[in-house]
Structure 1
Amino acid sequence: MSQFNIIWLDANALDSKSSFRSKLGATKLFTNVDSCVKYVESHSNEPIYLIVSGSFAKEVVPKIYDSPNLVQVFLFCGSVAAYAEWAMDYRDKLMIFDHGDDLLERLWNDLQTSLQEQAMACFKLANEYKQRALQFKQSCC
């Protein structure tokens, strides 16, 4: 089963009074683009979900967009229209939100769907192994 990495890159990510931060829960926080990029690159076997502020998006997204472990980028900004044209080049993995609760709802739903898919795959594999084991079950004399 995959371990998810939720990353938040924002100049104010370390603000302990941020209501958005408290809603995120266990999240890797970055206030620097280079540190964030290094983290993504060093965790190449783990799915990454990146939440990025508009102020860092145009710098960080081009650097990590092609990383195979980057699942989704959630751009959190004050104006969706301000990023709409730029974001067209990244539309396969990028969604833009101007409201934190909408972003979090989508993030939690995406993670839930992914975990359900993994659970179903594990259940299917478990049943296959059970069927294999039954082939070797000895019948009573």
Structure 2
Amino acid sequence: MAQFKILWLDANSSDPMNSFRSKLADALTFTDVNDCIQYVQSHSNEPIYLIVSGSFAKEIVSEIYESSNLEQIFLFCGSVSTYVEWAMDYRDKIMIFDHGDDLLERLWNDLQNKLRKQATLCLQRANEYEKRALQYKRPCG
């Protein structure tokens, strides 16, 4: 199972004093749209969650929207109403937020649910393999 990546594309994402950056922990930050597009396209085996500022959204979303590794786009902007109509074409992968804590709550809940599903599948497979192994267990003596 591939490990997911969180990408944050924003002109201010490289600022170490940005409080939102510290809340994102190990997210990869980008200030250049083309660099972010390149990353998404060159890491096709990694599920990606993209946080993008409103100022870059229209530029990047159309370029990467069809990427099979793009799990979810979190558009972080100052005004949700500014992007609602435009985002309708991308509604199955995009969510729009104007408050960082709301975005982070949704992101962490989505990732938690995804990891729990993966863990459940791993445990099911482990139990299956245990049963197979027991079929071959021979008594000593």
TM range (shorter): over 0.9
CA shift for structure 1 position 140:
5.4
Residues in 1 aligned to 2:105 and 2:2: alpha-carbon distance in whole angstroms: 21
* 2:135 pairs with 1:135: yes
Q: Show structure 1 runs of 5+ residues with no match.
A: none
TM-score (norm 1): 0.97
The residue aligned with 2:99 is 99
Q: Deviations over 1:1-22 (max 9, x none)?
A: 3211100000111111111011
Secondary structure of the 1:66 match is coil
Q: 4+ residue runs of structure 1 moved beyond 6 angstroms? A: none
The residue aligned with 2:75 is 75
Residues in 2 aligned to 1:5 and 1:137: alpha-carbon distance in whole angstroms: 41
The residue aligned with 1:53 is 53
Identity over aligned pairs, percent: 68
The residue aligned with 1:29 is 29
CA shift for structure 1 position 139:
3.6
Residues in 2 aligned to 1:53 and 1:83: alpha-carbon distance in whole angstroms: 11
Residues in 2 aligned to 1:45 and 1:93: alpha-carbon distance in whole angstroms: 18
Residues in 1 aligned to 2:62 and 2:54: alpha-carbon distance in whole angstroms: 13
Q: Aligned residue pairs: how many? A: 141
| Amino acid of the structure 1 residue aligned with 2:111 | L
Residues in 1 aligned to 2:138 and 2:12: alpha-carbon distance in whole angstroms: 64
The residue aligned with 1:3 is 3
Residues in 2 aligned to 1:2 and 1:113: alpha-carbon distance in whole angstroms: 15
Q: Deviations over 1:92-111 (max 9, x none)?
A: 00000000000000000111
Residues in 2 aligned to 1:133 and 1:77: alpha-carbon distance in whole angstroms: 54
Q: Deviations over 1:6-57 (max 9, x none)?
A: 0000011111111101111111110111000000001100000000000000
The residue aligned with 1:108 is 108
Residues in 1 aligned to 2:14 and 2:136: alpha-carbon distance in whole angstroms: 57
Q: Deviations over 1:57-92 (max 9, x none)?
A: 001000000000000000000000000000000000
Q: Show structure 2 runs of 5+ residues with no match.
A: none
Secondary structure of the 2:8 match is strand
Secondary structure of the 1:49 match is strand
| Amino acid of the structure 2 residue aligned with 1:127 | N
